[in-house]
Structure 1
Amino acid sequence: MSLRIAEIFGPTIQGEGALIGEPTVFIRAGGCDYRCSWCDSIHAVDSAHRHDWAVMTPQAVWDEVRKLSGDRPLTVSISGGNPAIQDFAPVIAMGKAAGYRFACETQGSIARSWFADLDTLVLSPKPPSSGEIVDWAAFETCLTTAKNCPNVVMKIVIFDDTDYAWSRAVAENHPRLPLFLQPGNPDVDPDLPVDLRTATDRLLWLIEKVTDDGWFTPRVLPQLHVLVWGNRRGV
């Protein structure tokens, strides 16, 4: 079997979500079943970039992770695109046997049996600003498939008041899922600098929304890697 890989990089820090700040090697899969209007990894999503993706065996993927990490077990994050399009079970099995931990982020549109083998599964349903419509039946199937995963959380990106209201409704329907909210990043061009003032203002806006509403369930976090490196790839 083979995997389509947009990039493998690290070690660096996890920039968002439940594992923010954790030393991590990233496997970014190529291909996605969504086309979010504000996607910040279009190079791993749009098939126009498919000629830049490497076709690798699971063993080759694992060998690259080992090389980057210096054979020191750490967390490996599988992202995309949507990594659930592909079968990462062999990579996870090789890594777990060597003492590595595995996390995956996906929108919850496709369920995979290997979700149960992860240490952390981040389900990130896309809000209205994305232009996508969530298939909640598929999302529930992902939850069922991942029932043996020890850490299943939900992360929602917030761009505006509509997204915020939507996230509250979603949280009410999934009260047992730890929730992480992240302000959306409208500046996704890797060749242009990020306006840090705008980024921090958006974070402050979201913090004030949850505190003013007395909604103390979610954790509000920035995209830490964007604040440090902007939209550079491979960091």
Structure 2
Amino acid sequence: MSQLIISEVFGPTIQGEGALVGKPTVFVRSGGCDYRCSWCDTLYAVEKKYKNEWHTLSTEEVWSQIQALSPTPILITLSGGNPALQDFAKLIEIGHKAGYTFAMETQGSLSKPWFKQIDYLTLSPKPPSSGMETKWDAFEKSVSLAKSPEAISIKLVVADDIDFKWAHEVQQRYPQFDYYLQPCNLQADEVTLEQGLQSTRELIDQVVAVGWHQATVLPQLHNILWGNQRGV
């Protein structure tokens, strides 16, 4: 069994973002990331200074934790950090045999052959406000490795007008996918319900103003319900 670096395994809860928002899921959050986004709200799964909180587990040990949380089939969401740094092929194989389905969110900076096993692949390239630059050839490699075009959705975070213009350009570059937009949680430790709702209203106004009627605008549902509490 392959070894996996895991920040946390928790649930069942609901997916709070993107195409599967509201769907019951167990999260497997990997440790480590090749990005350092300026507004990252999960630094505990990204920065090496938190490595003492991470666990090196066998695939079998991760699977045992999932089954302890949900002994009946459920959606398993691979998150991070960047889960593409890990080798989840065997975990997905075991889960599929037991009737579980898998979703993953990644920025598309790295691609792995096991992407073909993912039932729902959310690609989330990072906007200019993140301080990161998307390498579109790497992103397109991730697209090419998906199980099918229908398995892909694009989730874009929008923090300001520059991000919104960038997001609209991404949609025009890759019009074949469904797009999910969400406001950026700029102050991850201080976000309030009203701030989140106001940011969502402003994003809706932008989408309507430019006639981007194919986009889906969603708040971070988990932040509305629980703030930035971990493990939910």
Residue number in structure 2 paired with 1:117: 117
Residue number in structure 2 paired with 1:225: 222
Moved over 6 A (4+): none
Between stretches 180-189 and 158-167, larger displacement belongs to 180-189
Residue number in structure 2 paired with 1:26: 27
Residue number in structure 2 paired with 1:77: 77
Letter in 2 for 1:35: R
CA distance in 1, matches of 2:113, 2:77: 17
Residue number in structure 1 paired with 2:128: 128
Pairing partner for 2:198 from 175, 196, 201: 201
Displacement of 1:93 in angstroms is: 0.5
Displacement of 1:150 in angstroms is: 4.4
CA distance in 2, matches of 1:82, 1:127: 16
**Contact 2:4–2:59 under 8 Å retained in 1:** yes
CA distance in 1, matches of 2:215, 2:197: 18
Displacement of 1:149 in angstroms is: 6.6
Paired residues, what number? 231
Give per-residue Cα distances to partners, 1:214-233, cap 9 Å, x unaligned. 11011000100000000000
What percentage of aligned pairs have identical amino acids? 48
**Contact 1:127–1:157 under 8 Å retained in 2:** yes
TM-score normalized by structure 1?
0.96
Residue number in structure 2 paired with 1:47: 48
CA distance in 1, matches of 2:134, 2:184: 18
Cα gap change, 1:63 to 1:15, in 2 (>3 Å): same
CA distance in 1, matches of 2:187, 2:17: 16
Give per-residue Cα distances to partners, 1:39-86, cap 9 Å, x unaligned. 0100000011111101100000011001101x1101000000000011
Letter in 1 for 2:97: A
Residue number in structure 1 paired with 2:58: 57
Residue number in structure 1 paired with 2:96: 96
CA distance in 1, matches of 2:49, 2:198: 34
Helix, strand or coil for the counterpart of 1:176? coil
TM-score normalized by structure 2?
0.98
Gaps of 5+ in 1: none
Gaps of 5+ in 2: none
Helix, strand or coil for the counterpart of 1:55? strand
**Contact 2:118–2:147 under 8 Å retained in 1:** no
Q: CA RMSD in A?
A: 1.0
Confirm whether residue 16 of structure 1 aligns to residue 13 of structure 2: no
Residue number in structure 1 paired with 2:186: 186
Letter in 2 for 1:24: T
